[in-house]
Amino acid sequence: MKNKFYLAFALAVLTVTLSFTLIQKKTTLYIIGDSTAANKDPKTYPETGWGMALQAFFKADVTVDNRALNGRSTKSFRAEKRWDPILAQLNPGDYVFIEFGHNDEKVDKPTVGVSLADFKTNLINYVKETRSKKALPVLLTPISRRSFKNGVLIDSHGDYPRITRQVADSLQVPLIDMLAKTESLLNRLGEEPSIKLFNHVDSGNVNYPNGKKDNTHLSPEGAKQVAGLVVKGIKELKLDLAKKLK
């Protein structure tokens, strides 16, 4: 009888230990950034952030916690205390994917836009603070706008992507060059076919009665393809996250 009791007790302890180990191995991938990645309200559909499509690429032991928000920059995301709760709950082994630039470049809007020097400082602070929690920062350059001129895709981000690359290089931070990847995708598709990746809506749509031609924000198809490019970058970098992909 005693042997059965001890066996049952040992099995119970083992079960609890294994369960605790599985819980401990759960990884959270935070996304901080702007509207190109952000979760969207139903009233803006079919506009879709690429962060909304990322979870589908991972197994159950990764949770994508998308904190990106419309209109935010490296400056306003912190000023509005959006970063503080993320930093407070970061665990060792978690990831923070940092993609800014679309709004930082709006220097005519002082609450949002920042100089290149301040942009660099802000990225460095996000990286160092993430590392202080033994979490893993990953820098992403901003995705390309669909800005064709005479059939040629034009880069609209100025030197902000260069600064992101520079910070990644100087601090040895993994970098996914989303500008390069999305430019390649848009050039491969061409000016007209690439429309399907963006929030172009005919008039009469319930959310856009007058229609919409938005060459910055993504469609559901665009979000899926851009999230796929993020996943491609994860694989290229050989991050541990790659082992948790489906």
Full residue range of the structural domain in which residue 31 is found:
26-244
Q: Which amino acid is present at 158?
A: G
Residue 32's nearest CA partner among 103, 117, 108, 116 is: 103
The CATH number linked to 40 is: 3.40.50.1110
Strand pairing class (95-99; 136-140) = parallel
Q: How confident is the model at residue 242 (pLDDT cuts 50, 70, 90)?
A: very high
Nearest 5°: the CA angle 240, 168, 112 is 110
Q: Which two tokens stand for residue 3?
A: 């042997």
Amino acid at 30: Y
Give the whole-angstrom CA distance, residue 179 versus residue 160: 11
Q: What pTM was estimated for this model as a whole?
A: 0.89
Q: Is residue 10 part of a domain?
A: no
Mean pLDDT of 64-77: 98
3-state DSSP assignment of residue 45: coil
Given a cut of 80, whether residue 15 has pLDDT beyond it is: no
193 within a domain of the structure (yes/no): yes
Residue 33 lies in a domain: yes
Average pLDDT of every residue of the chain: 92
In whole angstroms, give the CA distance from residue 101 to residue 112.
10
Q: Is 96 exposed, middle or buried (0-12, 13-18, 19+ CB in 10 A)?
A: buried
Residue 11 inside a domain? The answer is: no
Q: Is residue 5 part of a domain?
A: no
Helices 116-132 & 160-171 angle (0-180, nearest 10): 40
pLDDT at 181: 98
Tokens of 241: 């996250």
Please report whether residue 180 resides in a domain: yes
- Domain-located, residue 13: no
Q: What tens digit of pLDDT does each residue of 118-162 get?
A: 999 999 999 999 999 999 999 999 999 999 999 999 999 999 999
Mean pLDDT of 75-102: 98
**What phi and psi, each to the nearest 5 degrees, are found at residue 201?**
-130, 135
* Confidence at 25, pLDDT banded by 50, 70, 90: confident
Can you read off the two tokens belonging to residue 170?
């100087």
Residue 66's DSSP bridge partners are 31
Q: How many domains, in total, are found in the chain? A: 1
Helix (H, G, I), strand (E, B) or coil at 236: helix
CA distance 180 to 201: 26
**pLDDT at residue 20 is higher than 70:** no
> Is there a domain that residue 15 lies in?
no
Q: Which residues pair with 31 in a beta bridge?
A: 66, 97
